[in-house]
Amino acid sequence: MIPQHETTGVQPALPPVTSPKIWFITGASRGFGRVWTEAALKRGDKVAATARKLASIADFSEKYGDNVLTLELDVTKPEQVKTVVEQAHAHFGRLDIVLNNAGYSLVGTIEEASADDIRDLYETNVIGPVSVIQAALPLLREQGSGHILGTSSNLGHVTLPVIGYYCSSKWAFEAIHESLAAEVKAFGVNVTIIEPGAYATEFGSQESLKFADALAIYDDFKGHFINGLRNLERGDPEATPEALFKVVDSENPPLRFFLGSHNLPDVRAAYAARLSTWEAWESVSSSAQGVSK
């Protein structure tokens, strides 16, 4: 495995892109997408802001004029993705930052969710971002520069019950971006996975959640779980843009970046528990290696 900082190949010696930077953002209508779109525009950057319903982002054009291009985009439609990415690139002349932010959570136990529920989730949370990446990469390679950002979650490292399929989509998202980072570094393209913890965004709203058909046997369990979520300390999304700007303005941005103060302790504990289990079973694991031939 080749971590991003050990990627082979020669990266072009390019000067950093001066401000204003040009962003392409999916899911710009609410949550982090809206917060980051507005913050980028306020600092003088230019943004191609996309959402499934154009009316939901029309106010950006009214406030920021030619600095913003609002486009309708459903990331589950690959041909539309390609057209919209190319339109944004042609409009601004380049794309410096491609931010995959569109996504939602599926609420339901592993037994409850149907195959269609899971496919739909992956179409938006995994296949959709891949479509954006694949549409943008030829343009970024031609530029010899660019920064691909993906909004993941601390749940890309740990899991919770009842939203296990959402967690699994973020684990897949993380693996794809880690592989991507090694593949595109030599082209002058950086990759960063943004991993927020719990924040007071609209992500917990009905528009950002889908529910699997319920089985009564899990009602009590899910009730306790959901009540526990209500007591979580949630961060202020308006506090996040400056941290994000430090990442995108860095000459050596990280592959992974936590947003919030709770993530590192939680992930540190989870990995310590995994290492402890692997080490406890090391002799049994090693015995399965057999004799090399």
Stretch (H or E) spanning 61: helix 58-64
pLDDT at 150 over 90: yes
Q: What is the mean pLDDT of residues 217-223?
A: 95
Q: Who contacts 266 (Cβ-Cβ below 8 Å, separation ≥6)?
A: 154, 158, 197
DSSP assignment letter at 187: G
Using only C-alpha atoms, what is the Rg of the chain?
Answer: 20
- Dihedral Cα 177, 180, 182, 185, nearest 10 deg: -110
Q: Which fold has domain 4-283?
A: Rossmann fold (3.40.50)
Secondary element (H or E) of residue 256: strand 256-259
pLDDT at 166: 96
Q: Where are the domains of the chain?
A: 4-283
* Amino acid (1-letter code) at residue 185: K
* Alpha helices (H) in the chain, listed in sequence order: 31-42, 58-64, 78-92, 115-122, 128-143, 164-184, 219-230, 241-248, 263-280, 282-287
pTM of the model: 0.89
Greatest CA span in the chain, whole angstroms? 70
**For 25-42, what is the mean pLDDT?**
96
More confident residue, 281 or 208: 281
pLDDT tens digits for range 109-120 = 999 999 999 999
Closest CA to 145 of 173, 185, 175, 177: 185
The set of catalytic residues is: 152, 166, 170
pLDDT digits (tens, 9 = 90+) for 87-108: 999 999 999 999 999 999 999 9
Higher pLDDT, 289 or 9: 289
What pLDDT digit, counting tens, does each position of 42-59 carry? Answer: 999 999 999 999 999 999
What is the percent of the chain where pLDDT is above 70?
91
